[in-house]
Amino acid sequence: MANSPRDLNRVPVVLFALNTDGITTVPLAVNPTNHGIKVSDGTTGTDHGGLPAARDENRIPVMVGASSADGVTLVEIYADSSGALQINSK
């Protein structure tokens, strides 16, 4: 389980749940040249359950969103092991 890195003001980096287990926390990867978020587009995953949301050892939670199916159910947002956000733009 990765702890969220922090800046000099102790602001934590955004964490996501690892797409392979839904429990391990992964910090968001950002390209240092153009400041763009690294993504893995068109990937499919498995629902690992995961609520309550996974947390790192400092109790920082992973990001969650509202389900596109009902707009109410909370769903963990997954990233791969490199920190690339898992998206489906189709």
Q: What is the mean pLDDT of residues 49-70?
A: 88
Cβ-proximal residues to 48 (8 Å cutoff; 6+ apart), any chain: 17, 21, 22, 23, 76
Parent domain of 54 = 1-90
The tokens describing 25, both together, are: 């926390």
What is the chain's mean pLDDT, rounded? 88
Q: Count the alpha carbons within 13 Å of 13 in the hemisphere toward its beta carbon.
A: 17
Average pLDDT over residues 46-53: 79
Q: How far apart are CA 4 and CA 2, in angstroms?
A: 6
Number of compact structural domains in the chain: 1
Residues 6+ apart with CB under 8 A from 69: none
pLDDT of 37 strictly over 90: yes
